[in-house]
Amino acid sequence: MTASASENSEVTVLLVDDNPQNLKVLYETLKDKGYRLLIANEGAKALDLAHRHRPEVILLDIMMPEMDGYEVCERLKADPVTSDCAVVFLSALDDLPSKVKGFSLGGADYISKPFQSQEVIARVDTHAKVILLERELQARNRELVSDQARILNSISEGIYGLDENGVIEFANQAAALIVNCPVEDLIGKNFFDLHFATASDSDTCLPVMGTCRQGVAEHQRNIQLQRVDGGAFPAEYRATPKLDNDELHGAVVVFRDITVELNNERALEEARALVQEQRDQLAHTSRLTTMGEMAAGFAHEVNQPLTAIANYARVSGRVMAKDAPDLSLLHETMEKIEAQSHRASEIIRRIRRFMKKPATGKEILAVPTLLEDTRQFAEVDMRNNEGGVEVVVEDDLPDVVADPVQVQQVALNFIRNALEATRAAGSSAPVEVTARRCGQKCVRVQVRDHGVGVAEEAEDKLFHPFFTTKEDGMGIGLATCRSLIQAQGGEIGYERPEGAGACFYFTLPVAGAGADACAAE
């Protein structure tokens, strides 16, 4: 077998002619070319063989009894099984109208009788190659379409292909499941009528409409789409223009039902609100605990001005009891009474300010003022521990955004612990409270003492709930501090300083620096 015959081994050629002599000549011409040859001497038999064997090339005579070649060709092209066969007419009808009619019915070529063998061989070979290439191309296209459909159907999000009027040209299985309608029933429906049936005809602002008609990409969330049964569901979608050589041909819409997602978000938000409420309650409880520990000191502090007021009142009474009262002394004494009453009032005001439950919401705060107020709160602890507090604030320190009451609670907690640790170590060094800028977004507040310090094994647990190094501690103070600072968008931590003592710090975001949490440097 020649190389040419080997290449043609998969090609079937059907020879159709009512003249046996012509069939013989054709057969002899092609028999050694490697083709699989089929022979029919009438139209009906040719149709039957073509349908069963699907030949690549059909050499078809036109003038045949009962069914001529034109009708055979027309029926071959009407049959999906044989429509792609290359029909080459073989006829003595050599006029132009006959040829035009043959081509109009789907003929691929025309050979006039009497034909030349070499011409027949060349044309059959050409059409056989073309048909084989077309069938291979069709097979690859079907494979690509199948792969594409398989991929699209494996995606959990619904996908529509829309034309410029919103008519659904393609839908995947996920889209069918979401809208509760078979894919074949979705094809041809109008996207806007299907999912926005309640919208008016003049409504030109529907989702995806801008993509279909103006080519504007869209992405929206929590849009109500209707199902085929009339029910609605919240959806998130992305609409992308469908372009061909910069010409708009509709849109591709990818969407998903976010009902479960929204329910989870609501549940999460409720859980967060509950956690925040419990956190606030815990913080307030911690403040009350602190207040209880400071009560004796505050009672002593309030008692001092009250005792002074009582003494000054007795002095005033004695002055006024004289026949010639010393009005100047009386005036001076009354001013002292007023001053002591203001002092008592200020002490009580400070106590109430510390005790109040913090309002939600942050303020722009000046750090020096904040730390000075905290230092005043710590005066009782300073007396009880025979210690001091030294506040050093960097020049031009920017304002911060925070809840003043919560930040004071954290700073006071650090200072009280530092004073107690300093006294336990027998040190007279004051507790150092410093504030400085830390990067572009943060201010760092640090409380450093020269006390007994923190054991290395305890460092990693300091901010854990219910962990304490104090014999009478509950272990909620530092844990509460961490929660409060994180709520401000800052960070909190401990550092082992050089020498003795401990160093606790926290950061606060600079006003106007953005919502990102600041980190210590």
Helix (H) or strand (E) holding 301: helix 259-321
Q: pLDDT tier at 478 (50, 70, 90 boundaries)?
A: confident
Is the confidence at residue 520, as pLDDT, over 70?
A: no
The share of the chain scoring above pLDDT 90, in percent, equals 48
Predicted confidence (pLDDT) per residue in 356-405, tens digit = 655 556 789 999 999 998 888 788 788 888 899 999 999 999 999 988 88
Between CA 124 and CA 47 the distance in angstroms is 19
* Residue 300: predicted pLDDT: 64
Helix (H) or strand (E) holding 46: helix 43-53
Least confident piece of the model among 40-44, 299-303, 480-484: 299-303
Between CA 48 and CA 479 the distance in angstroms is 89
**How distant, in Å, are the alpha carbons of 75, 227, 343, 493 from that of 374?**
100, 61, 17, 19
Predicted confidence (pLDDT) per residue in 201-213, tens digit = 556 688 999 999 8
SS3 40: strand
Sequence letter at residue 85: C
Kindly report each contact of residues 255-264 with a partner whose C-beta sits within 8 Å and lies 24 or more positions away, as own/partner.
255/157, 255/158, 255/159, 255/160, 255/175, 255/178, 255/225, 256/156, 256/157, 256/158, 256/178, 257/178, 257/233, 258/221, 258/222, 258/234, 259/233, 259/234, 262/222, 262/234
* Residue 517: predicted pLDDT: 56
Predicted confidence (pLDDT) per residue in 273-328, tens digit = 888 788 777 777 777 777 666 666 667 667 777 888 888 898 899 889 988 888 99
SS3 377: helix
* Neighbouring C-alpha atoms within 13 Å toward the C-beta of 446: 21
Mean pLDDT of 45-53: 95
* Residue 340: predicted pLDDT: 84
* Residue 86: predicted pLDDT: 93
* Residue 176: predicted pLDDT: 93
Of 145, 153, 146, residue with least CA distance to 171: 153
Sequence letter at residue 13: V
Residue partners of 172: CB distance under 8 A and separation at least 6: 149, 152, 153, 155, 158, 159, 183
Predicted confidence (pLDDT) per residue in 420-467, tens digit = 899 988 888 999 999 999 888 899 999 999 988 888 888 888 887 766
Helix (H) or strand (E) holding 38: strand 36-40
3-state secondary structure 86-151: EEEEEECCCCHHHHHHHHHCCCCEEEECCCCHHHHHHHHHHHHHHHHHHHHHHHHHHHHHHHHHHH
* Residue 461: predicted pLDDT: 81
Virtual torsion, Cα 121, 122, 127, 128, nearest 10 deg: 50
Predicted confidence (pLDDT) per residue in 163-202, tens digit = 999 999 999 999 999 999 999 999 999 999 999 876 665 5
* Residue 297: predicted pLDDT: 63
* Residue 85: predicted pLDDT: 92
Mean pLDDT of 231-258: 93
Instruction: Identify the residue whose tokens are 């020269």.
Output: 450
* Residue 16: predicted pLDDT: 95
* Residue 2: predicted pLDDT: 42
> What is the DSSP secondary structure assignment for residue 461, as one 8-state letter?
G
Helix (H) or strand (E) holding 400: strand 400-402
